[in-house]
Amino acid sequence: MDGIHDLGGKQGYGPVEVDDEESPFHHDWEGREWGIAQCARTPGITIDWWRHCRELIMPEDYLGRPYFDSWAQTDFATYIEAGWITLDEIDAGKSLSDKTDFGNPVTAMTLQQVLQEDHDHAVRFDAEIDAPPAFSVGAQVITSSHGNNGHTRLPQYARGRRGTVHACNGAHVFPDLSAEGKEIHQHCYNVCFAAAELWPEVENTRDKVHLDLWESYLVAG
C-alpha cells in the first residue's frame, strides 16, 4: 500500500528530537495501551493484518497523534472489523450485547506469569519448506518496481533497485498474504543496497542500507 506509513527517504520531517529519557512510558495511558496490546484477546488477527490496519489510519491521524494512541486506534479498528465491538458500544462506553463466544474469561496474571509469557512469546515466523531458495549469498537481485495494493514490506524507496544478497534468512511467513489471514512461508533474504543506488544525491560513499525482503519481491539482476 502506498500509504503515509512508508516513510523511508521521505523529506521534510525536520530534525530528530533526540532527547528522550530512558523511562519507557511518558504518560500513564501509554503504559495502559502497551499492556492492552500485550494481553487483549485477538483470535484470528495476524501481526501483519494489525500492521495493515495501522497503516490505514487517516494520514492526519497517523502523523498527528502520539505513537501509542495509534496502537489504540488500531485495536479499535481491528476489533470493530472483526465484529467484536461496535461504534455504538464505544459511544455507550459499555458492552451492548451478550456476545460471549470469546472463549474462557481472561484471568488476572501476576508479574511472574507475565514475564514467563514474554519469554514464551519469542514467536518464530520461519518454517522448513520444500522449495529451495532461488538466490544464494552474493547473488545480484533487482527489487520489484511495483508495490502491493494491500500490506507489503518492500518500501517505496527500495523498489526497482539493484542489490546483493547478504544472507538467506530461511522461509518466513509472507506478510502480504499474512495480512489477508493466509500463512504461507516464502524464502526471505537480507539484501544489501549501496546508498548511491537508492538516493540521487549520494555519491562516492561506501554506506549501505540492508533490508529483509521476500523472494517474490526479487528477480535475478
Partner 1 sequence: MPEFDAEKVAEIHQHLHSHLPSESALRVKALETLLVDKGLVNPQTIDAWIEAYTEEIGPKRGARVVAKAWSDPAYKKRLLQDAPAAIDELGFLGKATAHLKVVENTDQVHNLVVCTLCSCYPFSILGIAPAWYKAAAYRSRAVREPRGVLAEFGVAIDDDVEVRVWDSTAELRYLVLPQRPPGSEGMTEDQLVELVSRNSMIGTDRDLGANTRSQD
Query: Interface residues for partner 1 in 119-138 (CB under 8 A)?
Result: 119, 121-126
Query: For partner 1, which stretch binds (CB under 8 A), given 115-123, 128-136, 139-147?
Result: 115-123
Q: Is 159 in the site for partner 1 (CB under 8 A)?
A: no
Element (H, E) at 188: strand 185-194
In angstroms, the CA 38 to CA 32 distance is 10
Q: Is 84 in the site for partner 1 (CB under 8 A)?
A: yes
- Greatest alpha-carbon pair distance for the chain in Å reads 66
Candidates 45, 165, 171, 218; binder of partner 1 (CB under 8 A) is: 45
Is the CA virtual torsion 127, 129, 135, 141 positive or negative?
A: negative
Candidates 135, 175, 185, 218; binder of partner 1 (CB under 8 A) is: 175
Candidates 141, 165, 171, 213; binder of partner 1 (CB under 8 A) is: 213
Which of 170, 176, 173, 169 is CA-nearest to residue 184?
173
The residue count for binding partner 1 (CB under 8 A) is 119
Q: Helix or strand or coil: residue 92? A: helix
**CB 221 → partner 1: shortest distance, Å?**
18
**CB 136 → partner 1: shortest distance, Å?**
18
Distance of CA 155 to the CA centre of its chain: 12
**CB 127 → partner 1: shortest distance, Å?**
12
Q: Helix or strand or coil: residue 186? A: strand
**CB 130 → partner 1: shortest distance, Å?**
21
